[in-house]
């Protein structure tokens, strides 16, 4: 505006938008993002298994696209922590371990409670409506079991995520929401295994959560979600075969 002393970049500093947190790529509609979405879903549902090698030949056939496009999608998955790559030897699905699940769950407790508390304090009518609606849709589908077809599993996963997203939607911290979402997706992979092997059935924690949130009871809601997360970890540790703590070293070169 007025004469500003010489700037590192002239004028452009005034062209500022409000939010900088990473884009939610799921909202894009180009072909590249289609592939990305599909691959992400396949990893989260363990259709593509942990540690599995991702060869371009197979992927090209599976997703019907070119190498370049695949590469871009894989590149995205790497920065989300769902895949890994080593220069010259391609990509593979990110590994899983109990240690990892414990680590990410601890951080999740903080981010979920932080975003939920803020969301409740700034909730609107539209926010409440979306919670009611997304809970209704989630509740209509029974939690999937091992032998359900993949399409059912995917649909439940989608509704489950939508419900949890709706709870925190009015949180005003884009960065917190972004990291929360990333960790939520990570947890889905473990959640998945847990549900499939679960011996014990859990009561409807989503209903309790919904009511606590709609009642604007911050402490209760945060307590519920914290317990929800911690319980899942413990259940996974005790009921998922093969998921133990000391599984670090394997195949050394």
Partner DNA sequence: TGTAAACGGATTTTCGAAACTTTTATAAAT
Partner DNA sequence: ATTTATAAAAGTTTCGAAAATCCGTTTACA
Positions in 98-117 near its own copies (CB under 8 A): 99-100, 103-104, 106-107, 110
Taken in order 136, 101, 200, 219, the sign of the CA dihedral is: negative
**Interface region with DNA, contact rule CB under 7 A, candidates 80-88, 113-121, 127-135, 158-166:** 80-88
- Report DSSP letters for 145-160, one per residue: -TTS-HHHHHHHHHHH
87 binds its own copies (CB under 8 A): yes
Nearer of residues 76 and 114 to DNA, judged by Cβ = 76
Compute CA 130 distance to the chain's CA centroid, rounded to the nearest angstrom.
Answer: 19
User: In angstroms, rounded to a whole number, what is the distance separating the alpha carbons of residues 192 and 187?
Assistant: 8
**Interface region with its own copies, contact rule CB under 8 A, candidates 89-97, 129-137, 205-213, 231-239:** 89-97
- Report DSSP letters for 197-208, one per residue: H-SSPPP-HHHH
Which of the listed partners (DNA, its own copies, none) does 75 bind, with a CB threshold of 5 to 8 Å by partner kind? its own copies
Nearer of residues 41 and 131 to its own copies, judged by Cβ = 41
| Nearest of 247, 164, 155, 174 to residue 210 by alpha carbon | 164
Chain residues 28-47 in contact with DNA, contact rule CB under 7 A: 30-32
157 binds its own copies (CB under 8 A): no
Nearer of residues 8 and 140 to its own copies, judged by Cβ = 8
Which of the listed partners (DNA, its own copies, none) does 65 bind, with a CB threshold of 5 to 8 Å by partner kind? DNA
Compute and round to an integer the Cα radius of gyration of the chain.
21
User: In angstroms, rounded to a whole number, what is the distance separating the alpha carbons of residues 62 and 60?
Assistant: 6
User: In angstroms, rounded to a whole number, what is the distance separating the alpha carbons of residues 132 and 142?
Assistant: 17
User: In angstroms, rounded to a whole number, what is the distance separating the alpha carbons of residues 103 and 159?
Assistant: 25
Label residue 52 left, alpha or beta by phi (over 0 means left) and psi (-120 to 50 means alpha): beta
Nearer of residues 56 and 110 to DNA, judged by Cβ = 56
Distances (CA, A) of 161 to 16, 23, 29, 130, 240: 32, 17, 20, 13, 22
- Out of 88, 149, 241, 242, the only residue in the binding site for DNA (CB under 7 A) is 88
**Interface region with DNA, contact rule CB under 7 A, candidates 1-9, 61-69, 115-123, 179-187:** 61-69
Q: At closest approach, how far in Å is the CB of 60 from DNA? A: 8
- Out of 131, 167, 236, 243, the only residue in the binding site for its own copies (CB under 8 A) is 243
Which of the listed partners (its own copies, DNA, none) does 125 bind, with a CB threshold of 5 to 8 Å by partner kind? none
Binding site for DNA (CB under 7 A): 30-32, 53-57, 65-69, 71, 85, 87-91
């Amino acid at each position: 505006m007025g004469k500003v002393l010489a700037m590192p970049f002239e004028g452009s500093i005034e062209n500022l938008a409000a939010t900088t947190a990473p884009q939610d790529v799921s909202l894009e509609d180009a072909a590249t993002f289609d592939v990305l979405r599909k691959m992400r879903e396949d990893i989260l549902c363990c259709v593509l298994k942990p540690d599995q090698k991702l060869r371009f030949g197979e992927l090209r056939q599976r997703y019907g696209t070119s190498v370049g496009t695949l590469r871009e999608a894989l590149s995205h998955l790497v920065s989300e922590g769902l895949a890994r790559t080593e220069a010259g030897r391609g990509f593979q699905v990110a590994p899983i371990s109990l240690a990892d699940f414990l680590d990410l769950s601890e951080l999740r407790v903080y981010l979920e409670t932080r975003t939920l508390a803020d969301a409740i304090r700034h909730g609107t009518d539209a926010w409440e409506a979306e919670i009611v609606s997304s809970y209704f849709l989630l509740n209509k589908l029974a939690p999937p079991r091992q032998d359900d077809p993949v399409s059912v599993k995917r649909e439940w996963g989608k509704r489950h995520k939508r419900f949890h997203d709706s709870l925190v939607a009015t949180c005003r911290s884009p960065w917190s929401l972004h990291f929360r979402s990333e960790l939520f997706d990570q947890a889905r992979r473990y959640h998945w295994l847990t549900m499939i092997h679960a011996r014990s059935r859990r009561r409807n924690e989503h209903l309790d959560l919904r009511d606590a949130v709609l009642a604007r009871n911050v402490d209760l809601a945060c307590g519920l979600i914290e317990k929800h997360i911690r319980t899942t970890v413990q259940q996974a540790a005790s009921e998922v075969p093969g998921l133990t703590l000391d599984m670090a070293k394997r195949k050394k070169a």
